[in-house]
Amino acid sequence: TGALKIARRPEHVEQLHGEVARAWRVGVDLDFISPDEARRRLPYLHDSGILAMIYSPTDLYLEPAQIPLGYARAAQRLGAEVLEETTVTGIVTRDGAIERVVTDRGEIRTPVVVDAGGAWSRVVAQMTGIDIPLVPTRHQLVITEPLDVVESSQPIARVIDVNVYIRPERGGLMLGGYEDDPEQYDAATLPPGFQIKDLPLDLGVLRRFADSVREQFP
Mean pLDDT per 10-residue section of the chain, whose length is 218 residues: 97 98 97 97 96 96 87 96 92 94 96 92 94 92 96 97 96 96 92 87 94 96
- Left, alpha or beta for 85 (phi > 0: left; psi -120 to 50: alpha)? left
Give the pLDDT of residue 108. 97
Give the pLDDT of residue 51. 98
Give the pLDDT of residue 162. 97
Give the pLDDT of residue 164. 98
Give the pLDDT of residue 5. 98
Give the pLDDT of residue 63. 81
Give the pLDDT of residue 27. 97
pTM of the predicted model, to two decimals? 0.83
Give the pLDDT of residue 172. 97
Give the pLDDT of residue 212. 97
Give the pLDDT of residue 61. 85
Round to whole Å and give the CA distance between 54 and 134. 32
Round to whole Å and give the CA distance between 58 and 29. 7
In the sheet with 3-7, reading across from the earlier edge strand, the strands are 31-32, 52-56, 3-7, 156-159, 164-169, 172-177, 141-143
